[in-house]
Structure 1
């Protein structure tokens, strides 16, 4: 994949920006396999999050069992979830609550 997830978000959000429907979310779940430092690395590498944001999201995954790492159109969230799977993380998508 070329570019960052943030660039992909900008490119694909054009269609979703005009819709009034609820956005979708990419959720990363806690697992017994991946190190916390690796999860931070994935969030920084794929999403381009700065260290404090990546660490906050990782701690939410670790302590709360999950973290919403991205929100937007369904197709984009599916891409993000697949990317998380490719990195070995557990991820799903869901509609944002009303």
Structure 2
């Protein structure tokens, strides 16, 4: 299984550009919303800024034809006891 995402970007005039990436971000209300594939799920996470005590990830999982599961995970921002720093790359 590949972690590549196939994107179709469309301008206001309807011109489409197809591309492939491993993750992408949308800047919304001054925050980066990162989208990436992780273990067959679509992970949507908000970039952590200084002063944030936690961050949220949305996990979208395919269930069956035309059905998906959406799960919200809240994680503490900063380092874990083992020194792991949470961020968009850690797939949590």
TM-score, normalised via structure 1 length: 0.22
The structure with the largest alpha-carbon Rg is 2
Q: Which structure features the higher share of helix residues?
A: 1
Q: Which has the higher contact order (CA 8 A, sep 6+)?
A: 1
What TM-score, normalized to structure 2?
0.23
